[in-house]
Amino acid sequence: MCSTSRHILTLGDYSLQRELCHRVKTGDHLPIREAAQAMAAGLELPSDGVLIPIPSHIGHATDTLLLCNELSSLCGLPVLDVLRGAQRDSLYLLKTAGTPLPDASFLAMYLTQELPDGLKPLLVDNVIGTGLTMKAALALVPDGIPCTLAVDYSRCTL
């Protein structure tokens, strides 16, 4: 099980959402729309939330930004694209190659601006696998609420 005391807004276990999570990564509009619709219908998003996309391995948000924009169009929450990181190898490719995962400093994540007061930051990713990326984001946004399609409960430590 994902060892966490933190509340995670998720549709459920990765094993049930695996295909959709992978399709979202392609950046194609249809799976992103499908994912956003499922999240809007299945998650209790706070009305005072702000959607903050998690950056990809290229250092800025890509598919997660598209997901946040689509989710915003459905639920009316604003999007704030303020997280950046180092350009690096994909954690997914490192995992599949059997390479030991680095620590969160490998991501070199930082904020590009201060977060507005009075809004609940929702840190949006398509999946929380090991939890490494989300941990790095939470280090910068300690009151952030993880928001994702799925969690890999067999590997996640958050």
Between 91 and 63, name the one with better pLDDT: 63
pLDDT band per the 50, 70, 90 thresholds, residue 16: very high
Q: How far apart are the first and last CA of the chain?
A: 11
Q: How many CB atoms lie within 10 A of CB 140?
A: 16
Q: pTM for this structure? A: 0.88
Give the pLDDT score at 132: 86
Pick from 22-36, 73-87, 94-108: least confident: 94-108
